[in-house]
Amino acid sequence: MDVASINTRLGRVASADSRELDRVCEEVAAELIDADVEPPFRVPSADFATDPWLICADRYWRRRLLHQPTVEVAARCARWLHDHTDPPVRPDIIEKWSLGYAFITKDTVESRHDLTLATGRIVETFQGSTDICYFATLYHAGKLRANFWFDELHQFLESSLLAVAAGQHRDDPLFTGLRAFAAFGSRTITTSHALELLDTAWSAAPRSRAVVDVCLNALWAAPPFPGQGEQLRRHAAEAVAEYPDDHLFRFRLASGQRMCGDYTDALATIDTALRLLPAIGARISHELLQGQYLRERATILEGLDRAAWTSDQQTRWLDQDTANRDLRRTLQTSAIRAVELVTVFTAAIAFAVGSLQITLTGTLPLRDRALLLVLLGAGLLLFALLTVAGTWIITGRHHPGPRTTPPDPGGTQR
């Protein structure tokens, strides 16, 4: 093919609108595929929005891997990328391509046997290049991540020949982030170890967007653990501050806010994510993401309704508890009053009967009879006072039951 004409066509659409840019890049990529020729131009930048050469190369390798989704084709893509880009722009493209192509081919995971054979051919063909093996490792790991095969991902990253052949790249933040993703989902690895791996990847400097994405994805996809919502909300808020126009990070933040019960903030955040989601480029990606965001929005709305219902129920519970306390207090007071009344009435009757007997019978002098009446009245009064005091003590009049708090039905949600 005529390299000059390709460069001319791509250069002509460099300043065109996004849809025209996509159309021309797709056409050129399709022509290269039909001619069985790899892109014959260099990629000058890592600008996936406006660089036509990068966009065209991306469309080309996307088609190649959709047609033949193997680590060997991924290795050839890595070789082409190494030969047609300068080192400063290469890392961002490596991370975006390897994980992006893995996602769109996640339904074609190679078996362990096929992967071992392919690894031998890659090492032999590319003379053990750690950069190429690293790209192929990311590609296969990305498939396992996209399918949420946590234990398989952990085993692959820790012991596969392809991952071992990545050499020094095993210490790269993205590799560590993928290890954290596998650890969070594994049932055999502790959450504390997964958090340690996450912190190591997150605190790397410089920290790429792909690392941020994998770390947030790890927290979002992990089985529930204590503090998960707060961890996701805190890290996602930091990511949004660093990448304010990234719709995916807004989505993660909305999920974290929902897990923490901040439904109002979560609704505003997911609406922003939907607004930022671009409706251009590969339509299937837009539809998949939009569907996922809308499901999250529906869950948030359910949480809002549930929170409103819970608040209403708590108000009703508190009102009922107050009414019950008032009723208990009223019944208690009424019972005490009844005892007091019966006691006083009984004492009065006893005093009346006793005083009549003292007054109407016997031969005691008036002074002695008066003394007897005083002693009888004092005894009955003491009896009444002791009875009332005992009633107060038994019924706990001065110590009403403590006010209770309704149970909180809420909690961390996935």
Q: pLDDT tens digits, residue range 62-73?
A: 999 999 999 999
Residue 139: inside a domain = no
Instruction: Count the Cβ atoms, other than its own, within 10 Å of residue 347.
Output: 19
Position 412 scores a pLDDT of 45
**Selection from 305, 218, 291 nearest residue 258 by Cα:** 305
Position 369 scores a pLDDT of 64
Q: CA angle 190-195-199, nearest 5°?
A: 155
**171-211: pLDDT as tens digits:** 999 999 999 999 999 989 999 999 999 999 999 988 999 99
**Integer Cα distance of 239 and 36 in angstroms:** 41
Residue 393: inside a domain = yes
Q: What is the pTM of this model?
A: 0.77
**Integer Cα distance of 389 and 386 in angstroms:** 5
Position 406 scores a pLDDT of 53
Q: How confident is the model at residue 410 (pLDDT cuts 50, 70, 90)?
A: very low
Residue 367: inside a domain = yes
Residue 362: inside a domain = yes
3-state secondary structure of 383: helix
3-state secondary structure 60-94: HHHHHHHHCCCHHHHHHHHHHHHHHCCHHHHHHHH
Q: Is the pLDDT of residue 409 over 50?
A: no
Q: How confident is the model at residue 59 (pLDDT cuts 50, 70, 90)?
A: very high
176: enclosing H helix or E strand: helix 173-185
Residue 262: inside a domain = no
Q: Is the pLDDT of residue 364 over 60?
A: yes
**5-17: pLDDT as tens digits:** 999 999 999 888 8
The DSSP annotation for 214-247 comes to HHHHHHHHSPP-TTHHHHHHHHHHHHHHHSTT-H
Provide the number of structural domains found in the chain. 1
Residue 144: inside a domain = no
Residue 414: inside a domain = no
Question: 92-101, 336-345, 358-367 — which one is most confidently predicted on average?
Answer: 92-101
Q: Domain range for residue 380? A: 332-400
Residue 385: inside a domain = yes
Q: CA angle 104-299-317, nearest 5°?
A: 160
Q: Is the pLDDT of residue 231 over 60?
A: yes
Q: How far apart are the first and last CA of the chain?
A: 53
Position 284 scores a pLDDT of 53
**246-287: pLDDT as tens digits:** 999 999 999 999 999 999 999 999 999 999 998 655 545 778
The length of the chain is 414
